[in-house]
Structure 1
Amino acid sequence: MSMEISLVCIVDAEGRKVAAQCVDSTPKAIVALLERHGPMERVVIETGRITPWVALGLHELGVAIVCIDARQAHQSIKAMKAYKTDPHDAAGLA
């Protein structure tokens, strides 16, 4: 199986982007990135092929998860007049 990559976007309490970085789509890799930027209130993840595994792993590592439907995310991003790309998805979800 080839390794999946996720784009993680971190925003502060005011919604300003703090970081955006690609990491391996493993719970440990995602948590390692999040921990470098301090405590997180919650993580939003979009549904996809590996979402159940990643979400469960993040939950087991103590991360509060909100999972949203990819189609709804697409509509929200479209409403913001942003093209649906991984960077726009990550920023829109954040």
Structure 2
Amino acid sequence: MAELVTWGRQYHRILVFGLPESDHPLVVTPHAHDLVVRRCMDLAHDAEQEALTISSRVSGSHEVLLRQAVTEVDWCPSAARAHHTPLAADGA
């Protein structure tokens, strides 16, 4: 985020960020006050933390599903054979 704000200042660009809890976006002009930049940094940090949390949950769910699939195959080997599709002799 710091690099983005620096880029905006360097190239005189206005950055606009949507805020889900507000009806108005956060607007960062090239001459924005440090408090506005700090708010951007805080929002970026919060978004990163949320993304890490979601990623962790998805990874954990994936692990559980894989373990469950392995357990089902161990419990019912014929089910694994029913879903197995061998390659054709010509490799197609």
Q: What TM-score results when the alignment is normalised by the length of structure 1?
A: 0.25
- Between structure 1 and structure 2, the one with the greater Rg is 2
Q: Which has the higher helix share?
A: 2
> Quick one: higher RCO (CA 8 Å, sep 6+), 1 or 2?
1
Give the TM-score of the pair, scaled to structure 2: 0.26
Identify the structure with the greater strand proportion.
1
